């Protein structure tokens, strides 16, 4: 199946390094980030898992759960975790899904549904499309999707920034401009008329153009 923003994220049951999970139940009332990897013991992914382990407290502050996925069995993940901690200086405290049967990779359209076999004998190059990030809201809908090539490490600071924007814009009728960061000015959503905006923002706004109305970030 293909996935689009605002689709319900496919639910699944899987084994992880922290025991079995039912994905939607595991998310609960939180936001979640599912980020995938083509193979254990690969260099770029090792740095990514380690970096996320270091900044996980920032996600927890925002009520965001992290879960990794790699196309290998859980026992392989468990061995990999030692390498990650030793080389990256951070212990991974979030679960990593074992996707040896390729179930989740196929469910999330990272591998073709008709892809045969299991992780046995597959290489990182074979699985190179399993390099995605899915941000999922408490409503279990996909809010953001990003896919990277194998040789390009993902920018998880950008994903944290995007989370800030999505959580803000889910609460207030605003949008965030290019390169926006927490605390900076925002844009009144295009769906808000000037009459509505007067009630929402009685202090007024800066109209750069009729369609580009800037206000301080609401709290």
The whole-angstrom separation of Cα 160 and Cα 144 is 12
Select which of 9, 14, 27, 45 is catalytic. Answer: 45
| pLDDT tens column, 109-166 | 999 999 999 999 999 999 999 999 999 999 999 999 999 999 999 999 999 999 999 9
The whole-angstrom separation of Cα 33 and Cα 134 is 6
pTM metric for this prediction:
0.94
| pLDDT tens column, 38-95 | 999 999 999 999 999 999 999 999 999 999 999 999 999 999 999 999 999 999 999 9
**Is 45 annotated as catalytic?**
yes
The DSSP-derived string for 11-22 is: P-EE-BBTB-EE
HSE toward the beta carbon, residue 122, CA cutoff 13 A: 26
């Amino acid at each position: 199946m293909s996935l689009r923003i605002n689709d319900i994220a496919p639910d699944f049951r899987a084994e992880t390094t922290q025991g079995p999970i039912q994905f939607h139940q595991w998310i609960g009332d939180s936001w979640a980030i599912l980020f995938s990897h083509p193979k254990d013991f690969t260099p770029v992914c090792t740095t990514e898992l380690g970096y996320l382990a270091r900044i996980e407290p920032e996600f927890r502050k925002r009520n965001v759960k992290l879960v990794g996925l790699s196309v290998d069995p859980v026992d392989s993940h468990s061995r990999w975790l030692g390498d990650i901690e030793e080389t990256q200086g951070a212990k991974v405290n979030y679960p990593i899904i074992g996707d040896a049967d390729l179930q989740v990779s196929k469910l999330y359209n990272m591998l073709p549904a008709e892809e045969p076999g299991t992780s046995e004998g597959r290489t990182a190059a074979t699985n190179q499309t399993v390099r995605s990030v899915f941000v999922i809201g408490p409503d279990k809908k996909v809010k953001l999707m990003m896919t990277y090539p194998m040789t390009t490490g993902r920018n998880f600071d950008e994903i944290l920034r995007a989370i800030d924007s999505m959580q803000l814009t889910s609460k207030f009728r605003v949008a965030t401009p290019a390169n926006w960061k927490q605390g900076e000015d925002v844009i009144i959503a295009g769906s808000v008329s000037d009459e509505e905006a007067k009630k929402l923002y009685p202090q007024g706004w800066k109209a750069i153009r009729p369609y580009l109305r800037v206000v301080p970030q609401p709290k």
